[in-house]
Amino acid sequence: MSRKRVIKVSVLAFASVSCSLALLVEQNSLAKVCSGAGWECVSSIQSATAFEKSSIKADELLIHNAWIQEMPPTSKHTAAYMVIENKSAKETALVAAKAEIAEAVELHRMVTEGNMMRMRRVDRIPLPVGKTEITGDFHIMLINLKSPLKEGDHVALTLEFEGGGSKTLQVPVKKRQGEDGQ
Amino acid sequence: MIQKSAPLILLMVLLAGSAVAQTDAKTGFGGDFALTDQDGKTFRLSDHHGQVVLLFFGYTSCTEACPIILLRVNSVFKQLGPDRDKALAVFVSVDPQRDTPQVLREYVKYFSAHAIALTGKKEEIDIVVKQYGARYEIEKSDSALGYHISHTTDIYLIDSSGALQSHFDHKESATQIAESVKRLLR
């Protein structure tokens, strides 16, 4: 933990509760993300505040394997990826995301038509009951980064859901892996 | 019979080769071109005869398809082993407005040690895009990016004489591409 460079951010007011260390999302570890003390901390704080007007409870939306792609230092943009598990009984949607590190954060969808790759900005990413992969076709675009991000950094990313709920996570920056896993 | 006709077949192949020069006989795609590389120098495809070239189009603000292609190309080069110096990866930016040589230099250096990145005037780039049968469209968007670029993601395989041999779509793996490159190097 102390080895990692944590990006300072202003998070929603409730997140200043003395729990910021435990808010770190463990890298690529489903078990840790779901059952670790850190995740419980996120849920309990946010269910009390950010989800009070939402019909979906905070602990009914779990976020797994969140990461942000390290890009070359001259690149101004990058993307965040994750799997969101909707454990409630009804569909909801991711409707916005925010991060202090970027001038704008948008929901994007890459559509492949034949051999043509098309990029689209979307207003919402539907989250039906079960797991939704936001891992490429859907992605969260961080535009005009205020400073380059390097592997090992953590970025506070606030996800806003339909109906008024939100969650703030510390998302690790990682290198994209090639087909050979390197 | 086979032995007798072998010289004739060879002659036909040679004639066909000279007739099509560097374009694909069936489609008419391919051929020589010149653009500016990431160091600001002129890159001419015909200066690289002797090397097998993997050519593809993209832009550096692309966070999805382009890093995936570059990492796939990187994997191809790893699989080529000692033959990797006989091949070259060429990334042509279709976004000259944002992709300066400096931006391109950092981008390709980050993703692949084997890739050269090219830019030029839009008209020059458009000629190469058309020449290889690739496509791209600049689309205005309400995104903070200002515009998106839709583009084809094929990788074009050019043999050591500069002739376009085939192309690979996004479904073809690095291993399949590496095998095709190796066949051309034999």
CB contact under 8 A, A110 and B103: no
Residues 6 or more apart from B144 whose CB is under 8 A from it? A103, A104, A106, A143, A144
Q: Flag whether residue A68 sits within 8 Å of chain B, measured between CB atoms.
A: no
Q: What is the pLDDT of residues B46-105, one digit of tens each?
A: 999 999 999 999 999 999 999 999 999 999 999 999 999 999 999 999 999 999 999 999
B23 pLDDT higher than 70:
no
Percent of chain A with pLDDT over 70: 69
- Number of A:B CB contacts under 8 A? 101
Name the residue ranges covered by the structural domains of chain A.
Answer: 4-53, 58-174
CB contact under 8 A, A72 and B78: no
pLDDT at residue A12 in the model: 36
Q: Is the pTM of this model over 0.80?
A: no
Nearest CA in chain A to B173: A179
Give the position of tokens 């690529």: A28
CATH class of the A58-174 domain in this structure: mainly beta
**CA–CA dist A179, A97 (Å, integer):** 29
Find out whether A117 and B153 touch, Cβ atoms under 8 Å. Answer: yes
Q: What is the 3-state secondary structure (H, E, C) of chain A?
A: CCCCCECCCCCCHHHHCCCCHHHECCCCCHHHHHHCHHHHHHHHHHHHCCCCCCCCCHHHEEEEEEEEECCCCCCCCEEEEEEEEECCCCCEEEEEEECCCEEEEEEEEEEEECCEEEEEEECCEEECCEEEEECCCEEEEEEEECCCCCCCCEEEEEEEECCCCEEEEEEEEECCCCCCCC
The larger pLDDT score, comparing residue B74 to residue A22, is at B74
**Side-chain-facing half-sphere of B34: CA atoms under 13 Å:** 6
ipTM for the predicted complex: 0.81
Q: Flag whether residue A123 sits within 8 Å of chain B, measured between CB atoms.
A: no
